[in-house]
């Protein structure tokens, strides 16, 4: 876009989105608006022009953010409601953030595994994670930004059964794969993994894409086993969480001529976890998922409903109630109720 074109759509009013919507926020025709066609004004601009210090006065009330939660934020939610903490671990690019984003996106269309959506304290974080798989990103292929190194971040999903009394806070922990990998080099690192120590369910991702790679497949098994060993040796799983071992990118695995070999490799990893650490965990279950398939051969979020049911565990979110004459909207977001956890 050249400067002349940019000038024709910009507006000095920071609230005006005429460049996006084509409409003046104040409702004026373009030619009558004093702000249209001028560069956006900032407080710094105003100060530079007047040579006077700028004092920005705002009477607006600051609202709670909607980005990731830190440890304290997650704890606050868990203290106020029945909750499940899920630690999702695996090497870089295994699909941790994609899994989280796709699970959230499934609620755009309706309940998942008999659970409805009842709000979230991290809507911006979810939306950001989903963005590059949506058409609004202008991408031709779905993409997920890698999680940066720098500690754990939490996503919050409020789940509801058919009764307002049955609510559950699902806290999903996301941390860079490099950090989990480093625990295998220095087991003391795992002591800093607060999310594992608090996890009701630990979810270990096995990268299906790498299992298809002849050069990488043996490393996949080794890395997975070493990460689990580091968690065990670092005493982070003394509380015996339940474990899901998850094969990701099933769409790529299914399309590959090495499909059978990859599945056999995955089964061997699951058996290895059961054999070596079966007594350390309450349960070890295997799942296969395609969180964000690159084609329509598998539905988006394939396998996530079963995985979420495992996370939720025995929690009773569904009760039988007297029938209501009011039709329940199909979209979970449309049935949004009390978001308070």
Site residues (CB under 8 A) for another protein?
A: 15, 17, 20, 23-27, 58-66, 72, 75-76, 78-80, 105, 108, 119-120, 123-124, 127-128, 131-142, 292-296, 300, 331, 333-334, 336, 338-340
Smallest gap from Cβ 18 to another protein, in A, equals: 12
Residue number, 76 or 259, with CB nearest to another protein: 76
Across-strand partners of 159? 117, 168
Both tokens assigned to 221: 């098994």
Comparing CB distances to another protein, the nearer of 158 and 161 is: 158
Strand stretches in 136-279, DSSP E: 153-160, 167-174, 201-206, 242-247
Q: How far apart are CA 141 and CA 23, in angstroms?
A: 31
Cβ distance 247 to 291 under 8 Å? Answer: no
Tokens read off for 290: 């395609």
Contact call for residues 212 and 253 (beta carbons, < 8 A): yes
Between 259 and 335, whose beta carbon lies closer to another protein? 335
The closest alpha carbon to 243, from 280, 181, 285, belongs to 285
Nearer to another protein, 224 or 236 (CB): 236
For another protein, give the closer residue by CB, 163 or 267. 163
Residue 220 CB, shortest distance to another protein, in Å, is 25
Least Å distance, CB 12 to another protein, is: 13
Among 20, 105, 123, smallest CA distance to 67 is for: 123
Angle between helices 304-312 and 96-106 (to 10 degrees): 90
- What does the alpha-carbon distance between residue 239 and residue 236 come to, in Å, rounded to a whole number? 8
Smallest gap from residue 120 Cβ to another protein (A): 8
How far apart are CB 252 and another protein at their closest, in Å? 13
For the chain, how many residues are written? Answer: 341
**Residue 18 or 284 having the CB closest to another protein:** 18
* Min CB(154)–another protein separation in Å: 16
């Amino acid at each position: 876009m050249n400067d002349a074109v940019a000038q024709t759509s910009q507006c000095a009013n920071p609230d005006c989105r005429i460049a996006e919507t084509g409409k003046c926020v104040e409702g004026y025709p373009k030619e009558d608006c004093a702000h249209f066609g001028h560069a956006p004004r900032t407080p710094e601009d105003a100060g530079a022009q007047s040579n006077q210090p700028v004092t920005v006065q705002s009477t607006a009330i600051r609202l709670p953010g909607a980005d990731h939660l830190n440890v304290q934020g997650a704890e606050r939610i868990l203290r106020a409601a029945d909750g499940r903490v899920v630690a999702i671990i695996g090497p870089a690019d295994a699909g941790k953030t994609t899994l989280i984003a796709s699970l959230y996106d499934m609620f755009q269309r309706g309940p998942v595994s008999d659970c409805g959506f009842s709000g979230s304290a991290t809507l911006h974080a979810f939306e950001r994670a989903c963005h590059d798989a949506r058409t609004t990103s202008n991408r031709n292929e779905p993409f997920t930004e890698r999680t940066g190194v720098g500690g754990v971040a939490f996503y919050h999903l409020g789940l509801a059964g058919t009764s307002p009394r049955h609510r559950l806070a699902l806290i999903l922990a996301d941390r860079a794969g490099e950090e989990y990998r480093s625990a295998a080099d220095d087991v003391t690192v795992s002591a800093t993994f607060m999310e594992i120590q608090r996890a009701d369910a630990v979810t270990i991702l096995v990268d299906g894409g790498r299992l298809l790679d002849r050069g990488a497949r043996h490393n996949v098994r080794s890395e997975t086993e070493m990460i689990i060993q580091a968690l065990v040796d670092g005493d982070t799983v003394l509380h015996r969480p339940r474990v899901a071992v998850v094969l990701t990118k099933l769409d790529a695995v299914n399309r590959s001529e090495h499909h059978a070999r990859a599945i056999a490799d995955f089964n061997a990893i699951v058996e290895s976890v059961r054999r070596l650490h079966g007594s350390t965990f309450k349960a070890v279950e295997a799942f296969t998922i395609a969180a964000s398939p690159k084609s329509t051969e598998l539905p988006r979020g394939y396998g996530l409903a079963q995985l979420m049911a495992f996370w939720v565990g025995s929690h009773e979110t569904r009760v039988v109630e007297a029938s209501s004459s009011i039709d329940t909207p199909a979209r979970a977001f449309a049935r949004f109720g009390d978001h308070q956890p």
